[in-house]
Structure 1
Amino acid sequence: MKKYLFASILTVLVLLTSCDTSSNIKVENHWPHAGITYEIFIQSFYDSNGDGIGDINGVAKKLEHVKELGANAIWFMPIMPSPSYHKYDVTDYKDIHPDYGTMEDFKKMLESAHEKDIKIVIDLIINHTSSEHPWFKESKKGRDNPYRDYYVWAQKDTIADFINKKTITLDSDNIRQWHDPGNGEDFYYGFFIGGMPDLNFDNPKVREEIYEIGRFWLKDVGVDGFRLDAAKHIFPDDRPEDNHAFWKEFRAEMTKIKSDVYLVGEVYDMKEVVAPYLPGLPALFNFDFHYTLLESYRKEDGMLLAKKQKEILDFYQNITDEFIDATFSSNHDQPRLLNSLDENPKKLKQAITILMSMPGAPYLYYGEEIGMLGKKPDENIREPFLWDIQANDTGRATWIDAEYSTDEVVTPLAIQKSMSTSYFNHYREIIKLRNMNRALALGDLELFEGDLPKPSMAFYRNYEDQELFVIHNLSETEQNFTIPEEFEGVLFSFGNASLESGNVRLPAYASIILEK
């Protein structure tokens, strides 16, 4: 008998007592600077019409799930018409992919989300279009076509040394960036693949087209902001100053329409490369957080992540004090977090505890809250959400046969809600704790400088009159040590961590948050 059938007989009412520390403390919305954003791949989220593909009306039906989880905003992976399942190659920037519904559906969903105080951020893919986009179809017709300079073209003899050059970066391992449309003479540039030709941002007409697209979604549709895909590649890597200048210009144009527009950029690189983008993109994804978190578990070196995060925050602070650190523990491009953590339930629960106890504006990838699984290729990291046991799950998408997140190994949400120790209830608990304690959401990060066992991570989070001391044990071995004597109260405990007479006991993968 499958494990969720045992769980279904449970009638436990989950009381989030560790969060309700005071009747005077209320849940707050700290978005965008420290709020929580939930990433959704609509295709796999909820199918409202039975065609096997998740859709916008399905999202509208499940907005309460986002609210119950404690998230403040939704980031939608691409929603525009595209020939691919992932839709990162757009053919029409001012419409909704027909599989997902209509623009009217989207506007209704957006209105419902705003009524629930949920912001909406959409993926805006402007580094490249689809090779099926009308602009590119015109562009490849000839050198005299009005759309020719919307893309980057070169004659074969001028780029002969580069045609077969293999370029490997952190976000691409493609063999070639120059592509032949079929005539063997003129080649076009596509950093990722041939089906995604790069736009030519040296052309002022292209820049104005992009600004008009942004205005449309902000003014006519009403979204709250954009996630900017491949933000580092607007211009080639050897022109970083041009990239920085473009994003400043983009931000200036968008703020003319919406003064508080939210812009988060994907700049996948080390902090020295990322930081100069902050004036144009005030929120940037912190890839170092994700990878250092996993490295900390592999090496059982707790302070590795805390020191890395402190280093990044201090570095960005020297650029601007208005930056938003978009932290994440997983997303649609990396293996599911549970797979990366050896499918260890304690590690998964602790990882989200670490994410929520550190500074930043955390992103959560759909399905992590129920322990979904998935490895490369990317399709298997984006498998359908399990809402209920298969016999009852009328909204489960079926566009792909799940290889990893199946009923045999993943307990559906409906069952997890009745389980006091489920992933979902742990996620909800720790998110609520963060939203009720300003020091966790908004506080500074100060590293613990005392003696500490190597697998332990310890730091302070201080905001106004609230001072917290956070400790995590990233190993299978129990850790014990003496804490600063002024921290006497337990705000939160996970994994049977305990405090007695100034001594903390941390069993395997346990965490504790103390307050004065």
Structure 2
Amino acid sequence: MKRLRHIITLFTLPLLRLSVVLVFSNSWFFGCSPQEQVRTKEQLADHWPRAGITYEIFIRSFYDSDGDGIGDFNGVIEKLDYVNELGANAIWFMPIMPSPSYHKYDVTDYRAVHPDYGTLDEFKALIQAAHDRNIRVVIDLIINHTSSEHPWFLEAKKGRDNPYRDYYVWARNDTLAAYIDKKEITLDSDNIQQWHDPGMGEDYYYGFFYGGMPDLNFDNPRVREEVYDIGRFWLEEVGVDGFRLDAAKHIFPDERAPDNHAFWQEFRQKMEEVKPDLYLVGEVYDKKEIVAPYLPGLPALFNFDFHYGLLEALLTQDGSSLPIKQAEVLTYYEGITDEFIDATISSNHDQPRILTSLGGDVEMAKLAAVILLSMPGAPYLYYGEEIGMLGDKPDPNIREPFLWDVAGKDAGRTSWIDPVFSTDETVTPLAIQREDAESMFSHYKDIIRLRNSDKVLALGSLKPSGDGLPTQVMAYEREFEGEIRWVFHNLGGEPVEIAKPKEATGPVYTFNRAQLNGSQIQLPSRSSLILK
């Protein structure tokens, strides 16, 4: 089962006066004192949700405040200032509700939190502490299915006459042959058994992802009302700012796509009655033509094409296609609505970590961050990418403990799993990276700071501009309210020299020794230059 979650948001600096030229050389501002780099929340420009950065956290692996080896709500509270320091202004929490699994995508109680993470009051305290820092809180809401241990399903299994039977999707044993071989294989699931025997001697139930996750029956009005009440509970009584909607494409089968679209529009309308500024981001794992019709119901949608396009560009050292494909996606979405939010990602909890996907090439991973954060959209940052964590399938090894400090000093490091990829031998802990201006962490802070302080990079349109350039160069223009930024990346292993746009005046950002030399742009291997 391949899924995507993610939340990364934006901690922003005000747009500096145009007379001040900002130059980054991996870790510093030219023309800004250290004091000017530290701003209170009242001074921050805020592009969320349209173009903000959301930080995705798997609480189990984040920070352990009580020494039981499992991350918890109080641990997140202790690290909220870190989220601010990084530059995010929202957090997306992977599932927090009671569940029999470590990942908690199979819920047993929709109005509670898992005791491993703490109490509901502690989660409310986390929300308040986040809001005090101008950080929004978005939680995973898993309504496509429940756990097979959910009380609804335990009742439903008791027989056809049980009032909860119709909460789920069943094939009667006398018609089972018509269903049992019907399988829907999609990009987000490789499960080939979708009808499951509950062991009661009759009828099979439908579980798209696997037997432990029986699908709810959204043709049942009682189920829809249950779901709306659950949403109201988390918005009104708990105080979250929105939801990440898991498996949003699978409320109804693929052949009933219009019913899926209609359901999410109704869900949005019901939730906005409670919270008009509600944030919703959906996981619809497919190509843009399938994704786009969900926008009226789910105004933010993850852009999986961007993830794969970014990896392909970096691995093939071909920068020509990603800006074109991304511009096509944005144009296509604008044909549906001009209020969409394009949730871009470089990785998440379902995909191998970006540094692993790039073969451990640190400079290439840094370049990936510059591309992600200089493109349009509302980027999501998966916890640990900013310190160069590693991870590959199976899924638990993409979700290994965050390394806060060196072994022996890291009291908050979780120990629920023995890490295979992100160990003290392979990843430099945050405490050491903070002191290194060339570290992955310093690099992420710099490019996030630039994006947060520059409205053109945060909010501007996208125009590919790579015609006539070497294929290893990725080039595009960003424009907002008459201002332009020209962005150039060299994805190749050899240096490139190209002509400067006539209208460009000087650098806004440099990475990896790129520079403007008179009328020529000099791009060393795996470097970036942004001009104003």
| TM-score computed with the length of structure 1 as normaliser | 0.95
1:140 paired residue among 153, 157, 167: 157
Instruction: Compare 458-467 and 238-247 and name the one that shifted more.
Output: 458-467
For the pair 1:77 / 2:89, whether they are aligned, the reply is: no
Distance 1:365 1:18, change over 3 A: farther
Once residues 424 and 278 of structure 1 are traced to their aligned partners in structure 2, the CA distance between those partners, rounded to angstroms, is: 34
Instruction: Indicate if the aligned counterparts of 2:27 and 2:442 stay in contact, CA closer than 8 A.
Output: no
Task: Show the 5 A alignment for 1:259-298.
Answer: 259-298=276-315
- For structure 2, the 5+ residue unaligned runs are 1-25
2:231 paired residue among 196, 206, 214: 214
Task: Show the 5 A alignment for 1:158-173.
Answer: 158-173=175-190
- For structure 1, the 5+ residue unaligned runs are 1-13
1:383 paired residue among 400, 410, 429: 400
- Give the letter aligned to residue 512 of structure 1: L
> 1:466 Cα deviation (Å)?
2.4
Residue of structure 2 equivalent to 1:11: none
Deviations 1:164-200 (A, max 9, x none): 4554210001121000000342100000000000000
> 1:388 Cα deviation (Å)?
0.2
Residue of structure 2 equivalent to 1:201: 218
For the pair 1:430 / 2:442, whether they are aligned, the reply is: no
Corresponding residue SS for 1:193? coil
For the pair 1:243 / 2:260, whether they are aligned, the reply is: yes
Corresponding residue SS for 2:364? helix
Residue of structure 1 equivalent to 2:5: none
> 1:478 Cα deviation (Å)?
1.1
Instruction: Indicate if the aligned counterparts of 1:488 and 1:502 stay in contact, CA closer than 8 A.
Output: no
Instruction: Indicate if the aligned counterparts of 1:18 and 1:492 stay in contact, CA closer than 8 A.
Output: no
Deviations 1:305-335 (A, max 9, x none): 1111000000000100000000000000000
- Give the letter aligned to residue 16 of structure 1: W
Question: Percent identical across equivalent pairs?
Answer: 64
Residue of structure 1 equivalent to 2:476: 459
Instruction: Indicate if the aligned counterparts of 2:157 and 2:200 stay in contact, CA closer than 8 A.
Output: no
Residue of structure 2 equivalent to 1:16: 28
Distance 1:27 1:497, change over 3 A: farther
For the pair 1:352 / 2:364, whether they are aligned, the reply is: no
Once residues 467 and 19 of structure 1 are traced to their aligned partners in structure 2, the CA distance between those partners, rounded to angstroms, is: 21
Instruction: Indicate if the aligned counterparts of 2:490 and 2:527 stay in contact, CA closer than 8 A.
Output: yes
Instruction: Indicate if the aligned counterparts of 2:207 and 2:215 stay in contact, CA closer than 8 A.
Output: yes
> 1:160 Cα deviation (Å)?
1.2
> 1:465 Cα deviation (Å)?
3.9
2:360 paired residue among 306, 326, 343: 343
Residue of structure 2 equivalent to 1:36: 53
What is the RMSD computed on CA atoms of the aligned residues? Answer: 1.7
Once residues 315 and 217 of structure 2 are traced to their aligned partners in structure 1, the CA distance between those partners, rounded to angstroms, is: 42
Corresponding residue SS for 1:238? helix
> 1:436 Cα deviation (Å)?
0.3
Once residues 248 and 59 of structure 1 are traced to their aligned partners in structure 2, the CA distance between those partners, rounded to angstroms, is: 33
> 1:162 Cα deviation (Å)?
3.5
Once residues 315 and 374 of structure 1 are traced to their aligned partners in structure 2, the CA distance between those partners, rounded to angstroms, is: 33
Residue of structure 1 equivalent to 2:525: 508
Distance 1:370 1:283, change over 3 A: same
Once residues 400 and 298 of structure 2 are traced to their aligned partners in structure 1, the CA distance between those partners, rounded to angstroms, is: 30
> 1:298 Cα deviation (Å)?
2.2
Residue of structure 1 equivalent to 2:73: 56
1:94 paired residue among 106, 111, 126: 111
Residue of structure 1 equivalent to 2:512: 495
Once residues 186 and 19 of structure 1 are traced to their aligned partners in structure 2, the CA distance between those partners, rounded to angstroms, is: 71
Once residues 448 and 178 of structure 1 are traced to their aligned partners in structure 2, the CA distance between those partners, rounded to angstroms, is: 50
> 1:161 Cα deviation (Å)?
4.2
Once residues 332 and 286 of structure 2 are traced to their aligned partners in structure 1, the CA distance between those partners, rounded to angstroms, is: 14
Residue of structure 1 equivalent to 2:345: 328
> 1:154 Cα deviation (Å)?
1.2
- Give the letter aligned to residue 197 of structure 2: D
Once residues 485 and 285 of structure 1 are traced to their aligned partners in structure 2, the CA distance between those partners, rounded to angstroms, is: 36
Distance 1:15 1:181, change over 3 A: closer
Once residues 89 and 319 of structure 2 are traced to their aligned partners in structure 1, the CA distance between those partners, rounded to angstroms, is: 29
Once residues 297 and 31 of structure 1 are traced to their aligned partners in structure 2, the CA distance between those partners, rounded to angstroms, is: 28
Residue of structure 2 equivalent to 1:227: 244
Instruction: Indicate if the aligned counterparts of 2:50 and 2:341 stay in contact, CA closer than 8 A.
Output: yes
Residue of structure 1 equivalent to 2:426: 409
> 1:342 Cα deviation (Å)?
1.2
Corresponding residue SS for 2:493? coil
Residue of structure 2 equivalent to 1:120: 137
> 1:32 Cα deviation (Å)?
0.2
Once residues 31 and 179 of structure 2 are traced to their aligned partners in structure 1, the CA distance between those partners, rounded to angstroms, is: 58
How many residue pairs match? The answer is 503
Once residues 391 and 46 of structure 2 are traced to their aligned partners in structure 1, the CA distance between those partners, rounded to angstroms, is: 31
> 1:304 Cα deviation (Å)?
1.2
Instruction: Indicate if the aligned counterparts of 1:19 and 1:492 stay in contact, CA closer than 8 A.
Output: no
Deviations 1:370-425 (A, max 9, x none): 00000000000000000000110000000000000000010000000000100001
Moved over 6 A (4+): 21-26
- Give the letter aligned to residue 111 of structure 2: K
> 1:163 Cα deviation (Å)?
1.8
Corresponding residue SS for 2:529? strand
Instruction: Indicate if the aligned counterparts of 1:47 and 1:58 stay in contact, CA closer than 8 A.
Output: yes
- Give the letter aligned to residue 373 of structure 2: M
Instruction: Indicate if the aligned counterparts of 2:146 and 2:215 stay in contact, CA closer than 8 A.
Output: yes
Once residues 20 and 320 of structure 1 are traced to their aligned partners in structure 2, the CA distance between those partners, rounded to angstroms, is: 39
> 1:367 Cα deviation (Å)?
0.3
Once residues 344 and 30 of structure 2 are traced to their aligned partners in structure 1, the CA distance between those partners, rounded to angstroms, is: 24
